[in-house]
Amino acid sequence: MTTSHPYSLPERRPRRLRRSDTVRRLVRETRLTPDRLVLPQFVIGGEDKVEPIDAMPGRARMSIDRTIAECKESMALGTRAFALFPAIDPALKTNDGLEAINPDNLLCRAVRSMKEACPEACLITDIALDPYSNMGHDGLVSDRGVILNDETVDMLAKMAVVHAEAGADVVAPSDMMDGRVGAMREALDAAGHIDTAILSYTAKYASSFYGPFREALDSAPVEAANVPGDKKTYQMDPANSREAIIEAMLDEAEGADIMMVKPGLPYLDIISRLRDCTALPIAAYHVSGEFAMVKAAAARGWLDERACMSEALTAIARAGADIIFTYAAMDYGRWYAESGV
């Protein structure tokens, strides 16, 4: 049916390329495959242990054997990279964080076992002191309640070497101390680990979206005299974006191999800005709070979990992230295997 109009219609009609699913897939600009995802895993001691995390439906703290089983399942679905976070015995937590550089600590045992069972897996280990600190901070805390930068950096460099010797493919400093990437690169090279990559949490913000993660690791700052109740003196101010460029320039100069923006969705502009200023791969962390919001809304029938989670991850990739850390990695792998997303 032809209808005449009193106004002229556009010669270009973008809707022509939206008319069917086949056409839409043909011209799709951003394609996210499971092999671009990283699955974070929370490791605990013991055997055959699974402790569900209430605030993160479908995710759990798991003993090494169960972590390995999940690793194999995830690899079959296409995600072959894993970020390991240890939930250690509180009795081992101290302000000096010495358990972090124990070559037989929980994290190192997990890396060795996983590498033996899944040699093709890429294992990314977290470099920060908060899992080992009785203060809940990423760095050493002075008597005056100051998070000590240079003393912490020395510990982080030692920690990176210990992880590399256990078999970690990538070490990922998430602490936001100044100078830690350069110190870690120097320490790794001196110890002969020239092939161990550094994924730096370049722009890690003092975000309110980390709550479920801190529940999973019991790593929130403690409430005590002279101890900061938050991490704002070292993590970035959510109001800042230019500062992320400064951090990126420093990390690249110090030898970072990959840069991370954390969180993901609230910081798509930061991902985009870093993508424009560096040729290095950009990672983004779709954090626990982002994951939990979709899960909670879907459980109440308010959102379609598959559609919304897939849209969120695609948006992060569209902004410029080459790699996405997400607790939904296995869900996405199943959806992708079924029909693609």
Catalytic residue numbers? 204, 262
- Name beta bridge partners: 194: none
Q: What are phi and psi of 268, to 5 degrees?
A: -60, -30
Contacts of 307 (CB under 8 A, 6+ apart): none
CB 126 within 8 A of CB 85: yes
HSE, CB side, 13 Å, CA atoms: give it for residue 319. Answer: 26
| Amino acid, res. 317 | A
Dihedral Cα 84, 89, 93, 99, nearest 10 deg: -60
All residues at 6 or more sequence positions from 38 whose CB lies less than 8 Å from its CB, including other chains: 79, 81, 82, 83, 124, 283, 323, 324, 325, 326, 329
Positive or negative: CA dihedral 310, 312, 210, 181: positive
DSSP 34: G
For the record, the structure tokens of 320 come out as 């410029």
Q: Give yes or no for a contact between 131 and 86, defined as CB atoms under 8 angstroms apart.
A: yes
Structural contact between residues 85 and 41, judged by C-beta atoms closer than 8 angstroms: yes
> Which whole-number Å values give the CA distances from 167 to 78, 119, 136, 283, 307, in the listed order?
22, 10, 26, 21, 37
Question: Can you tell me the distance from the alpha carbon of 283 to that of 325, in angstroms, rounded to the nearest whole number?
Answer: 7
Length of the chain: 341
Phi, psi torsion values for 125, nearest 5 degrees: -110, 140
| Burial annotation 270-296 (CB, 10 A radius, 16+ → b, else e) | bbbbbbeebebbbbbbbbbbbbbbbbe
Specify the DSSP class assigned to residue 58: T
